[in-house]
Amino acid sequence: MKRETLTIVGIGYVGLPLACLCGEKGYRTFGISKDKKKVALINQGVSPIKGDARLQQWVSQKSFTAVTGFESVKSSDIVIICVPTPIDEHYNPDLEPVESACKMIAKYMKRGQLIIMESTVNPGVCEEVIIPILEKGSGLTAGKDFYLAHCPERINPGDAYWNVRNIPRCVGGLNKKSLSWAVRFYRSIISGTIRPMKSLKEAEATKIIENSFRDINIAFVNELAKSFEVLGIDLLDVIEGSKTKPFAFMAHYPSCGVGGHCIPVDPYYLIERARKSGFDHKFLKLAREINNSMPRYAVDRLMKALNEIKKPIKGTSIGVLGLAYKADVDDLRESPAVEIVSILKEEGAKVEIFDPYFPKRSTAPSLEEMLRKVDAVILATDHREFKEMNLLNFKKAQIKVVVDGKNCLDSITIAKMGILYRGIGK
């Protein structure tokens, strides 16, 4: 069989491991990024994504070629779109990266290709946005001259078990040939089940509901954290109890907020598209509102604890442990920690920051040195370095309040040292 050529448009958290995998599986693979430095690094075998040793090892095998231009689209059998799908400052979906990538692809498209969309989008984007741009720019007709499929990526960066090789996938196609080609392609690279969907729209909807499901359930426990604070109930203990029911309960955990490029973003794509068609997603909007309120809640917990020891937030030095949106990654997108820093500054606190993944944004070179400068801390990211820290360092640095935004520290040990401990829900 002829060795197929692939172009992957966008080589970030999603496109980079996919490009490594396709290259490894024998496809002649090109990965496009607009960033020249990133392209040069990748071609030298260096991953631009820090802190992921497995990905670094994969990139060092140089199984694909990174490029800055779209010329490789011309010689490709399959083109896969992995560009960002963010929201703007008013929480509106921003499809600009998808639109501009499609315009560039259309310039180089030729008859007979399969275009696959992997970026997360609301139901309707493939048919309402992508097809018109590709048809207009190329003069070709979708379904006849070229094929289109959607296979939403589910990768969870930093996950030790689930990865691009083994996560099951759902695939929708514009027509029979689009679907069968895309399913065959994914079966050739992925060991997980490939589930064909009825249509592009159904495939688009799978990913949005997966992440909205997470968002809603997290909002539920975050609301319980606030309620149980008033009622004097330890939510974490309650969740451990509820978890013993062997069916129909799924544990979710409260925290100082929901971050990343997916969960706090994707529901807005559905909310907005449904609104345009006259449907109001009250439940999804409320979940977003509750989760967006959690950084403020964490700071309020801190302020109340400081009040107990007669310290105003204004002028007090507060240390923020972690900036990344989740543990052991160098990703700041939609991070609640960033929001916590700005709320603390608005309140007049003197803010110190330490995140081992962001040395340039940290105000001290080490955790110990940062602790020496502050009176209280908010842990905003459960990096391993924080979870495994020697808690005596809090005492040595004379820390008076610890707000544990991820409930990952030993509350009893901290309290025994005479430090006020506040978790989220405990």
Ligand X SMILES: NC(=O)c1ccc[n+]([C@@H]2O[C@H](COP(=O)([O-])OP(=O)(O)OC[C@H]3O[C@@H](n4cnc5c(N)ncnc54)[C@H](O)[C@@H]3O)[C@@H](O)[C@H]2O)c1
Residues at the contact surface with ligand X, assessed by CB under 6 A: 9-15, 32-35, 82-85, 97, 100-101, 119-120, 153-155, 157, 261-262
Nearer to ligand X, 15 or 319 (CB): 15
Nearer to ligand X, 83 or 321 (CB): 83
Alpha carbon distance 121, 140 (integer Å): 23
Q: How far is the CB of 10 from ligand X (least distance, A)?
A: 3
Q: How far is the CB of 258 from ligand X (least distance, A)?
A: 13
Nearer to ligand X, 94 or 145 (CB): 94
**Catalytic positions, written as ranges:** 262
Q: Measured between alpha carbons, how far is residue 324 from residues 18, 251, 290, 302, 385 in Å?
A: 23, 23, 20, 20, 13
Largest CA distance in the chain: 75
Closest Cα to residue 29, out of 7, 56, 11?
Answer: 7
Using CB atoms, what's the residue nearest to ligand X? 12
Nearer to ligand X, 135 or 210 (CB): 210
Cβ count near 405 (within 10 Å): 31
Nearer to ligand X, 218 or 224 (CB): 218
End-to-end, the C-alpha distance of the chain in Å comes to 60
| DSSP track, 35-69 | -HHHHHHHHTT--SSTT-HHHHHHHHT--SEEESS
Q: Which two tokens stand for residue 220?
A: 């539920």
- Beta-sheet strand order (sheet of 376-379): 350-354, 317-321, 376-379, 401-404, 420-423
Q: How far is the CB of 7 from ligand X (least distance, A)?
A: 10
Q: How far is the CB of 387 from ligand X (least distance, A)?
A: 21
Alpha carbon distance 358, 335 (integer Å): 13
Nearer to ligand X, 117 or 374 (CB): 117
Closest Cα to residue 341, out of 266, 412, 257, 423?
Answer: 257
* Single-letter code of the amino acid located at 356: P
Strand partners, 242: none
Q: How far is the CB of 17 from ligand X (least distance, A)?
A: 9
Q: Which value, in Å, is the radius of gyration of the alpha carbons in the chain?
A: 24
Three-class SS state of 31: strand
Alpha carbon distance 337, 376 (integer Å): 15
